[in-house]
Amino acid sequence: MFSPLTVGAFLLAYVAILFGAALAVERKSGLAGRLVTSPLAYSLSLAVYCTSWTFYGSVGKATQSGLLFLTVYLGPACAAVLWSLVLTRFVRVKNTFHITSIADFISARFGKSQGLAALASIMALIGITPYVALQLKAIISTFAIITSPSPAGATDAADPSGSGLLAPAVAVFMVLFTIIFGARRLDPTERHPGMVAAVVMESCIKLFAFLTLGVFITYFVNDGFAALFERAAASPLAAMSALGGSEPASYLVWTSYMILSASAIMFLPRQFHMAVVENSNIRHIRQAMWMLPLYFLLINIFVLPIALDGLLSGLPRSQADAYVLRLPLLHGAPWLALLVFIGGFSAAAGMIMVSTMTMATMVANHLMLPLIHRFEGLSVLRRRLLPCRWAAVAGSFFWLTFLNARWASPTCWSTSA
Q: Can you give the pLDDT at residue 371?
A: 81
Q: Can you give the pLDDT at residue 170?
A: 78
User: How far is residue 260's CA from residue 267's CA, in Å, rounded to a whole number?
Assistant: 10
Vertex 11, ends 9 and 15: CA angle to 5°? Answer: 115
pLDDT of the chain, 417 residues: tens digit per residue: 788 889 989 999 999 999 888 888 887 766 666 778 899 999 999 999 999 999 999 999 998 888 889 999 999 999 999 999 999 999 999 999 889 899 999 998 888 888 999 999 999 888 888 888 888 888 888 998 998 876 555 444 444 455 567 767 777 887 888 887 777 666 655 678 888 999 999 999 999 999 999 999 999 999 999 999 888 888 877 667 666 555 555 788 889 999 999 999 999 999 999 999 999 899 999 999 999 999 999 999 999 999 999 999 999 988 999 999 999 999 999 999 999 999 999 999 999 889 888 888 888 888 888 887 777 767 666 667 777 777 777 776 666 666 655 544 444 444 344
Least Cα distance to 288 among 50, 77, 94, 105 occurs for: 77
Q: Can you give the pLDDT at residue 372?
A: 79
User: How far is residue 307's CA from residue 301's CA, in Å, rounded to a whole number?
Assistant: 12
Q: Is the four-CA dihedral 341, 347, 351, 357 of positive or negative sign? A: positive
What are the angstrom distances between the C-alpha of 410 and each of 53, 95, 127, 416?
A: 11, 41, 18, 11
Burial of 56 (0-12, 13-18, 19+ CB in 10 A): buried
Asked whether 58 and 320 are in contact (CB, 8 A), the reply is: no
Q: Can you give the pLDDT at residue 164?
A: 62
Q: Can you give the pLDDT at residue 388?
A: 75
Q: Helices 4-26 and 163-182: crossing angle, nearest 10°?
A: 0
Which amino acid is it at 413?
W
Q: Is the pTM of this model over 0.85?
A: yes
Q: Domain span at residue 31?
A: 4-415
Count CB atoms within 10 A of the CB of residue 399.
Answer: 14
Q: Calculate the dihedral angle through the C-alpha atoms of 284, 286, 287, 288, rounding to the nearest 10 degrees.
A: 80
Q: How many domains does the chain have?
A: 1
Q: Is the four-CA dihedral 311, 316, 317, 319 of positive or negative sign? A: negative
User: How far is residue 168's CA from residue 322's CA, in Å, rounded to a whole number?
Assistant: 23
What are the angstrom distances between the C-alpha of 145 and each of 151, 205, 208, 309, 317?
A: 10, 20, 21, 19, 16
Q: Helices 251-267 and 71-80: crossing angle, nearest 10°?
A: 60
What are the angstrom distances between the C-alpha of 141 and each of 78, 296, 359?
A: 33, 25, 25
Q: Can you give the pLDDT at residue 29?
A: 62
Largest distance between two CA atoms of the chain: 74
- The CATH number of the domain holding residue 27 is 1.20.1730.10
Q: Calculate the dihedral angle through the C-alpha atoms of 298, 331, 342, 28, rounding to the nearest 10 degrees.
A: -50
